[in-house]
Amino acid sequence: PAPPAAQHGAQAAPPSGGDDQESGANEIFRLEAIGHVHIFTQTDQAWGDKAIYDMDQAVLVMTGNALKLTTPQDVLTARDSMEYYSQQRISIGRGNATVTTDDHRQIRADVLVGYSAPPTPDGQNGQPTPNGQDQKKQDSSGDPLTNGSGKLEKVNAFGHVWVRTQTEVVTGERGVYVPDTGIARIVGNVHITRGPNQIQGAAAIINMHTGIATMTEQAGSRVSGVVVPSNGDTSDRK
């Protein structure tokens, strides 16, 4: 929570002028929390060992073991660090980062970058706002300790990308996933594996709703693979 963080490592900017003891103009510009950090809003929660929050830039960086960020729509975990840029509504997980959606779809990579929609005042994404001015004020405040995040709109994945569907595992070098459509596109040395069967190519499109992964053709590249028959025939089909 914010109050323990303030007690642990709050830093204050010097007053602009006047008597230091009488002005009372000190302004906290950074909070540091150390040990069993738990940060929460009306909709989101995050856990880690250490957190630094830059109040001017509205940037939160968490490090330590068992890093985890939960929202009503998804769960983000990471090994090395997690960053949240409130004004841009960008979440970044570094080191074996994984996003798991509320319907159990999952994508993993060395680095995951999530882009969220603006939150609504009542925390209910997609609901109309009774007062447009209040909505604008909240969106511009840039305070993740107050607002929470909106609906996850897109996830970019970089390095050792791994996607699991109901029947297949797809790996590649880079990817992008749009939760609303359930479509993920993976590029770069792509492999689609179903049991002992595997095909490889330059790019693939995955429909996370149906669980179907399709290898797509790119100029100058070919699709190849090995299919192991299940009818007793011992010869591989290539």
> How many angstroms separate the CA atoms of 133 and 26, rounded?
30
User: Could you tell me the residue range of the domain that residue 107 belongs to?
Assistant: 32-164
Question: Number of structural domains, the chain?
Answer: 1
Q: Is residue 27 part of a domain?
A: no
Asked whether the whole model's pTM tops 0.75, one would answer: no
Tokens standing for residue 151: 């609906």
195-237 pLDDT per residue, tens: 888 889 889 999 988 888 888 866 556 666 666 776 555 554 4
Measured in whole angstroms, the distance separating CA 231 from the mean position of its chain's CA atoms is: 43
Task: Please report the pLDDT score of residue 174 as a whole number.
Answer: 96
> Percent of the chain at pLDDT above 70?
67
Q: Is residue 74 part of a domain?
A: yes
Q: Is residue 152 part of a domain?
A: yes
55-68 pLDDT per residue, tens: 888 899 999 988 99
CA distances from 225 to 159, 170, 201, 236 (A): 22, 13, 9, 10
135-159 pLDDT per residue, tens: 444 444 455 555 555 678 899 999 9
CATH number, position 109 = 2.60.450
